[in-house]
Amino acid sequence: MTASFLHVEGLVKHYEQPRTLAEKLLGKPKRIVHAVNGVSLQIARGETVGLIGESGCGKSTLGRSVLRLHEPNAGQVHFDGIDVIQQSMQDMTRLRARMQIIFQDPYASLNPRKTVRDIVSLPLAIQGQVDGAERREQVQAMLNRVGLRADQFDRYPHQFSGGQRQRVGIARALVSRPALVVCDEPVSALDVSIKAQILELLAELRTEFALTYLFISHDIGVVAHLADRIAVMYMGEIVETGSTRELMRSPQHPYTQALMSAVPRIHAAGRSQRIMLKGDLPSPLEPPAGCKFHTRCPSAMPRCAQQAPPRTLSAASKEHMVSCWLHEESR
Ligand code: SF4
């Protein structure tokens, strides 16, 4: 692997949950949502890393914290050698031309009072890099590239289908020619056939514009389609990372194994027994002690409830990391 293009180290994002009036009157203490808890992650230039986990595990918060759309509480983010956390707000605005995001919900992320031409022009207007005819040309070229026709450029978001709206969202993210794109569940709100088209488009654009993706999804099938490597997140922590091939072939963490067992396989030989996890994701207001997965883990041992497991390299590969006492004990 080449040197990391995006380097995230020990990133923490906690929120204060607003108290109700009754809680304030009773003097109840403020409660903290532990959304991201010391995540470290590296992405090489041109690489796609898929970030998977159940809804509410903190993956979207992590993606937004990397771009400082949410301000992290602690940790470091370096992008192409730039210390992102140390940038002033003004510098951050400039940097965002190179670090963009495609949002999950194409309905909610587009301003309903603006035409798609205006929506896609906005990042260039904020950056102030180009104006006039040049800006118009760049916007039109990008709208064309994502598959919209010239007669659609002056329409409003409500005049488009979900897939077309996501094409607008992609054009808005790419018009400033970023190098890194956080794709935050970009196809989860779309129908199956449209989903495949948008994934295909994202794959083409990655090659054409030499993009690096952090691709966030709860759907392993979607992530496996695009990602070179996969990081698995549970309750604000990354519990396993490895190449897509290695993780799909031989998941090591019991949580990853449960996620993988839910992926439909065409060939009977590839089918494994579905592992049903007990219970729901615990509340990030009160994360369990020790290994955060111990309340649902089919292989939990007494020490799992007391001590968090260290990150361990898998015996099978130097690039496969897992946080689980089972692997520590087998060494
Ligand atoms: Fe399960 Fe223990 Fe491994 Fe956590 S450390 S995943 S509880 S076996």
| Residue with CA at minimum distance from ligand 1 atom 5 | 324
pLDDT for position 202: 97
Distance CA 182, CA 156 (A): 25
Pairing mode of beta strands 321-323, 237-243 = antiparallel
> What average pLDDT does the structure give for the chain?
91
pLDDT for position 26: 87
Question: Structurally, what CATH architecture does the domain formed by 4-98+178-329 represent?
Answer: 3-Layer(aba) Sandwich (3.40)
Region 49-57: mean pLDDT is 94
pLDDT tens, residue by residue, 118-177: 999 999 998 887 888 999 999 999 999 999 999 999 999 999 999 999 999 999 999 999
| Residue with CA at minimum distance from ligand 1 atom 3 | 324
**Among 173, 190, 228, 234, which residue's Cα sits nearest to residue 37?**
234
**Among 151, 95, 148, 88, which residue's Cα sits nearest to residue 123?**
95
Six-digit token string for 153: 């450029």
Task: Answer whether residue 1 shows pLDDT above 50.
Answer: no
- Measured in Å, residue 256 CA sits from the centre of ligand 1 at 11
- Measured in Å, residue 216 CA sits from the centre of ligand 1 at 24
**Among 87, 59, 99, which residue's Cα sits nearest to residue 213?**
99
| Residue with CA at minimum distance from ligand 1 atom 6 | 324
Residue 77 backbone dihedrals phi, psi, to 5 degrees: -135, 120
- Measured in Å, residue 291 CA sits from the centre of ligand 1 at 6
Residue 312 backbone dihedrals phi, psi, to 5 degrees: -125, 140
Hey, where are the domains in the chain?
Answer: 4-98+178-329, 106-177
pLDDT for position 329: 60
Residue 239 CA: nearest ligand 1 atom is: 6
pLDDT for position 142: 97
Residue 304 CA: nearest ligand 1 atom is: 2
Sort 291 into a burial class: Cβ within 10 Å, 0-12 / 13-18 / 19+. buried
Distance CA 117, CA 140 (A): 8
- Measured in Å, residue 299 CA sits from the centre of ligand 1 at 6
Q: What does each C-alpha distance from 71 to 63, 66, 127, 165, 230 come to in angstroms?
A: 11, 9, 21, 28, 25
